């Protein structure tokens, strides 16, 4: 066999080995990528399961809150009506009681003022030893 044919066969064989090694390396990389995708898929399935569980619990919570809101709303409306009635009652009571109380306070102040003035006059008259009937002027 001529030398050129032997060299060509050797180069072709070497090229086939290089191509085989490159194919093995490429397949190894593809396999690693496939393993990572598989792990990601497993994690994603777990996350989806957890998200579904969380969604179910959220729906249950919303349903129970809706069940509680109606009675709470009714109680709040009852307190609102009760508060309105208490305000009206207090207003009526103040309107009815305010004037007599103001009058009583004014009468008390007047009586107190008169009593104080009278006691001052008596004290002044007895301390000075004067007994006049003309209002204390001499």
pLDDT for the residue numbered 97: 85
Q: Does the pLDDT value for residue 135 go beyond 60?
A: no
Does the reported pTM lie above 0.75? no
Q: Does the pLDDT value for residue 131 go beyond 60?
A: no
pLDDT for the residue numbered 68: 87
Q: What is the pLDDT of residues 28-71, one digit of tens each?
A: 999 999 999 999 999 999 999 999 999 999 999 998 888 888 88
Q: What is the pLDDT of residues 71-112, one digit of tens each?
A: 888 888 988 999 999 999 888 888 888 888 889 999 999 999
pLDDT for the residue numbered 129: 66
SS3 track for 33-78: HHHHHHHHHHHHHHHHHHHHHHHHHHHHHHHHHHHHHHHHHHHHHH
Q: C-alpha angle with apex 33: 27 to 39, nearest 5 degrees?
A: 135
Q: C-alpha angle with apex 23: 18 to 26, nearest 5 degrees?
A: 125
pLDDT for the residue numbered 90: 87
């Amino acid at each position: 066999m001529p030398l050129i044919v032997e060299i060509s066969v050797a180069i072709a064989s070497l090229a086939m080995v290089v191509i085989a090694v490159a194919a093995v390396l490429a397949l190894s990389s593809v396999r690693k990528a496939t393993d990572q995708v598989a792990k990601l898929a497993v994690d994603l399935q777990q996350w989806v399961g957890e998200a579904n569980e969380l969604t179910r619990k959220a729906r249950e919570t919303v349903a129970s809150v809706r069940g509680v809101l109606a009675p709470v709303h009714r109680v709040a409306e009852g307190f609102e009506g009760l508060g309105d009635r208490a305000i009206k009652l207090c207003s009526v009571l103040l309107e009815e009681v305010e004037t007599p109380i103001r009058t009583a306070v004014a009468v008390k102040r007047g009586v107190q003022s008169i009593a104080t003035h009278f006691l001052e006059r008596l004290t002044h008259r007895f301390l000075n030893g004067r007994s006049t009937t003309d209002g204390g002027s001499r």
